[in-house]
Amino acid sequence: QVQLAEFGGGSVQTGGSLTLSCAASRRPLRNYAMGWFRQAPGKEREFVAGISVNGGSTDYADSVKGRFTISRDDANNTVFLQMNSLKPEDTAVYSCAAELPYSYRVYKNPNEYDHWGQGTQVTVSS
């Protein structure tokens, strides 16, 4: 089964940018729909962004629309989350997830994903 590992987390000030990477191994990423989720302390895991298996569709949480961009590079088995104009409320552990899809839609429910990375911490200070 596919294994996922996130990179690129860190600490930034309000208004800063970070790019998260999710590297896949053992299985080609091109077979999977991908998503990014985040979980802040004391809160439930929430959908951040998703991309369909063919890259033709993307979707975002309202809270990040216009600031975050998800993309995929299947040749290099990597999915990215470009995060701009970061806010303190973006502070969380960010995880990528993969799912063998039945359609070309974006999967937004974490229960629809079978494969998860270990997560990477993003901290935005004011």
Q: From CA 16, how far away is CA 54, in angstroms rounded? A: 30
Query: Does an H or E element contain 11, and which?
Result: strand 10-13
Is residue 59 within 8 A of residue 108, CB to CB? The reply is yes
Q: How much is the pLDDT for 77?
A: 97
pLDDT tens by residue, 76-123: 999 999 999 999 999 999 999 999 988 899 999 999 999 999 999 999
d(CA 125, CA 109): 29
Tens of pLDDT, residue by residue over 12-42, are 999 999 999 999 999 999 999 999 999 999 9
CA distance 71 to 20: 11
Beta bridge partners of 115: 98
Q: Is 23 helix (H, G, I), strand (E, B) or coil?
A: strand
Rounded-to-integer distance, Cα 38 and Cα 76, Å:
24
Angle at 40 between CA 91 and CA 57, to 5 degrees: 80
pLDDT for position 102:
85
